[in-house]
Copies of this chain bind each other. A is one copy, B any other.
């Protein structure tokens, strides 16, 4: 997954302040973060739009990321860490209508993250999220 950003150094600093460690990123190259068994990249938003064959009309485009954690206390802690790192806390941690507990933080480029504890999902020690229902 790649997030388009306008200031790669600022975006990298933000995610590194939350404990992630970037790889690469020299010159116009993306910065990469290992995130569990996937890779999250930060890249110039205009370059990403061109490379993705889409027009960038600005703003949000229908994708919201989530960081699932193991307890309400962790939701509170990650939300405070994001705020300290420069995120906008758009919704303070609170109980949700679906029986969980979450907050919404917006990164410096406007990408929203849900910081969530979902007691109905299983979370591995390494942060992996597992649905507990069986596919139909």
Which residues of A are interface residues toward B (Cβ below 8 A)? 1-5, 21-24, 32, 34, 36-39, 45, 48-49, 51-66, 68, 90-91, 104, 106, 109-112, 114, 121, 124, 126-131, 133-136
Q: Are B62 and A135 in contact (CB under 8 A)?
A: no
Complex Cα distance, B91 from A111, in Å, reads 25
A23 / chain B contacts, CB cutoff of 8 Å: 131, 133-136
Closest Cβ of chain B to A63, distance in Å, is 4
Complex partner residue of A45 from B37, B52, B62, CB under 8 angstroms:
B62
Q: Are A106 and B66 in contact (CB under 8 A)?
A: no
A56 / chain B contacts, CB cutoff of 8 Å: 59-60, 62
Given contact pairs A53-B112, A56-B59, A61-B111, enumerate 13 new A-B contacts (beta carbons under 8 Å): A4-B62, A22-B136, A37-B38, A37-B126, A38-B129, A48-B64, A52-B104, A53-B104, A54-B59, A54-B90, A54-B110, A57-B59, A58-B59
